[in-house]
Structure 1
Amino acid sequence: MSRTIRGAAASLFMLASALTLSAGVADAQSKPPLKIGGILDMSSLYADITGPGSETAAKMAVEDFGGEVLGRKIEVLAADHLNKADLAANIARDMLDNQGVEMIWDVAASATALAAGEIAKARNKIIIFNGPGSVRLSNEACGPYTVHYVFDTFAQANVTGLAAVKSGLDSWFFLTADYAFGQDLEKDTSAVVVKSGGKVLGSVRHPLNTSDFSSFLLQAQASKAKVIGLANAGGDTINAIKQAAEFGLTKGGQKLSPLLAFVSDIDSVGLETAQGLLVAEAFYWDLNDDTRAFTKRFMARTKRVPTSAQAGVYSSVTHYLKAVKAAGTTDPDAVMKLMRATDIDDMFAKGGRIREDGRMVHDMYLFEVKKPSESKGKSDDYKLLATVPGNEAFQPLEASRCPLVKK
């Protein structure tokens, strides 16, 4: 074969290869993106717990996964629900009906989560809850495509309440946020206290996002309870702790127990005021080498350590994308089957698993807030007291009120 003919053949081969490659790229580009939508508190009392940090965690998960799956680019959407249940439902409806979202994540706050969850359930779409805590999400409000990932009121009550009563703090009074999450947290903690031999002396409910706790704290002080349980979260927890210190409640011998607190709350309160508090958490940035490595990358973007909710967003989005890749489809039945069948082993959970009621079961931790003299710097807030296995921390499956659970 002459050199000219060989050259022409090589040129034709290269042209054919280029055309094939171009067709493959064009085919990938022609596929619609896989959209996952976060419904967050971006501007109110839970913004530090979830908010922009959760959006960052979701984007990190997508980037670490490679940015695409099944030849589809992955897009992260996020919207602010302003802590309004009706707005959360409308956002979920718009995302699923009009924007082509295939999975919803986070949905900070319980009332908003319950509302968005009903929309996702009606459309047979996967929804993963990271920021909300109401145990109803894996009980009465459960669904075949619903996952409650990070924590819930049962586990928070079980880990904190049991430890407190065992240490002799056996009489309680509750300051409770007047919505689903606060009510469930008070109910679940009361049950743990009474079952453990303690007494509940009373409770008072306060409006969500209130700035003045004086009347509620005076009622708690008058109860003479050994423990004032704060069945609230975010800005409400921060304000209640600060104002309790101003009223001198802890100096009078009563102990505050925030039943849901995040490291961001402790940073806001300060160790001088928060020292000695018992806190149940699903994650802490300084637990081990894996949590510290993730935190270093997260802080490079946000300038703050991740909360358990934000770490849970990264973990759950990654778990979902792995299931989509393994299933070869975004079909919710196929994806959920693999999500339930595959253990979660990452910086958030070791041996975590999703049960048939949607509860992701994993270890929980009991921490004591450090004294200022014990801390090495900002966000070095906790010392670990106990690791509680998931099957002891979370509600037993046989006690579930989820209609999907076979009795």
Structure 2
Amino acid sequence: MNYQFARRLDAAPESFLDQLFAISRDPKIISFAGGLPMTSLIDVAGIRDAAAAVFAEEGETALQYTTTDGYLPLREFIAERYRSRLGLPATADEIRITNGSQQCLDLIAKLFVDPCTVVGMERPGYLGAIEAFSYYQPRFKTVPVTEEGPDIDAFHTLCQEDNLAFFYGIPNFQNPSGMSYTETRRKECAECCRETNTIFYEDDAFGELAFDGRPRIPVKAFAPECGVMSGSFSKTVSPGMRIGWIYAPAQVIEKFDAVRQAADLHPNALSQAVMYRYLTTHDYEGHLERVRRVYQKNCNQMCDLLDDLLPDVIHTTPEGGMFMLATMPEGKDSMALFHACLKECVAVLPGVPFYAEGGGYDTFRLNFSTANETEIEEGMARLKRAYCLCGKK
């Protein structure tokens, strides 16, 4: 059979995501490559109790078709959290539940991206976003990320593009670098977006994972009409439940509902009801504090071991989130390191797929949220062996 696949499939880069999930399932490999939360921190008992209560009290409703916009009590919970934590005047009408925040990437691209329109991104930027946007055949233009956030001159130049669909960024504990925008840079980005009528798509998947527990004011706070935000319970409660959301102006929400309905009619009704029951009957703040405490300890351990074992490697030092980015000396190749690591039964993620316009050959991403203390110590020893063996290009 000669299948006539759509030409847009040719525009998508080779996916590393399948490889990452396969690696994470191999018990012989200590993986620093994926983006999984620590399994032992998932509150299985609490979620089980919440599910039992949902089945007992509203089982028939939770197992039936539901509305496109999502479970109203959960949307109200999310909106209230935006108001109380971040001072944003969010309402439930501006919130839509999605099957993970990854679905937001696809649907927002479907709304705004035509072939050859420009999508702005950080350099490096989230590989899952690059893959999702690529199917709509944009031209990527990237802005370097510094310790303060996007290079503001390059950001301003990009925003003046006539056919810029939006700029996608992760201001809090960026994936893959772990760096965060300063408040000054957030204000500067917002001002630039207002001046140029640019949409800032703010992915806030890691905002609740600040090690100090302090909320960071989003870009959207300084330019509400330009801001589209997405969030997720995957990094804080359970990725398997696939609960994410989008928070956007009314005109965007109206169009979003249309493309969402065509995609899958509505989000998972059962997961939404269970999530809401869990969040409102258990100590969510206490749970977050436990997660932050473990991730901070893991991050500090990994940074110390990198400094001790690979002193010629430069790395970021995150203040939250799940990732850090390492840069090797000139001539070292991250793909060679990736394959050498697998031989040593450890996994890191090469930097290449995070660079939409090419590059990243000397960088690799490390995840510190999945492995425990013993696994980090052993995994970093394996990484050192692989690093010494992989040589140069």
Give the structure-1-normalised TM-score.
0.31
Give the structure-2-normalised TM-score.
0.32
**Quick one: higher RCO (CA 8 Å, sep 6+), 1 or 2?**
2
